[in-house]
Structure 1
Amino acid sequence: MEGGEPRTLDRFFEGSATAYGIYRAAERMASALGPMEVRVSKSQVSFRRRHGFAFLWRPGTYVKSSVPVVLSLALPYELPSPRFKQIVHPSPGIWMHHLELLESSQLDAEVEHWMREAYGAAG
């Protein structure tokens, strides 16, 4: 809750129709994989099974950036690809792969494959 009001997708993406459109496309992709939960926090929107597998956040909220949304995928291995802005290893068995998204068309078959693998690992 923020200021007594629940966190909502509308509030999270307020001021950026582009970011909200990218989110909707990512949510459709994730929902097609199977049952999942969407959680909205102050800093991100997460797609979860037992664990989170995909996270969307707005970099302009934290640093000067024109990128509307970053999609972070939690995979049990490092997946080298020039598409990722950054890959970090925050804990044993988890590599976070950060993909800057400028438009929803970037959510293509390759990203769907990565998201499917993240979904499977989030059991």
Structure 2
Amino acid sequence: MSADPGMRPEDFFTGHPDALEVFREVCAIVGRQGPFELRVSKSQVAFRRRRGFASLWIPGQYLARPTAEVVLSIALDRLDESPRFKEVAHPAPTHWIHHLELHDLSELDDEVAGWLREAADSAG
């Protein structure tokens, strides 16, 4: 894992300890699949290889009444119709962004690890 200098993930997740724990677990899952980079901005923490493949963000930054503290967005080259996804965006012909609200670390299970592996592999 490498990160851009500047804002750290710990800074991004200040005041959101559960989201920070989710971040650490996602890093562990992705790290088992090979190297990756992090990019931290004001809006998200992005996981990248040649291109971005996943991000974590705080819905409370954008929504008046968020239903989760943190959302994991996963970029797949296909639509996955799992009912676990809160929303799926289709910004390009072969690009779907799947938004997964996370309420507990236990939700980062083998299925999520599989989606992250698929996304990371597609990202190079």
Deviations along 1:18-73, one digit per CA (max 9) or x if unpaired, are 11011111111011110110111110001100011111000011112141110000
Give ranges in structure 1 of 5+ residues lacking alignment.
none
Cα distance in 2 for partners of 1:88, 1:70 equals 14
**1:43 maps onto 2:30 in alignment:** no
Question: What is the count of residue pairs matched by the alignment?
Answer: 119
Q: Secondary structure at the match of 2:84?
A: coil
Segment drifting more, 28-37 vs 64-73 = 64-73
Partner of 2:30: 30
- The percentage of aligned residue pairs carrying the same residue is 49
Partner of 1:113: 114
Partner of 1:101: 102
Q: Which amino acid aligns with 2:43?
A: S
Moved beyond 6 Å, runs of 4+: none
Partner of 2:54: 54
Deviations along 1:74-121, one digit per CA (max 9) or x if unpaired, are 000101100000011012211000000011110000000111110111
Q: Which amino acid aligns with 2:69?
A: P
TM-score by length of 2: 0.92
**How far is 1:8 from its partner?**
1.5
- Equivalent residues in 2 for 1:58-77, closer than 5 Å: 58-63=58-63, 64-77=65-78
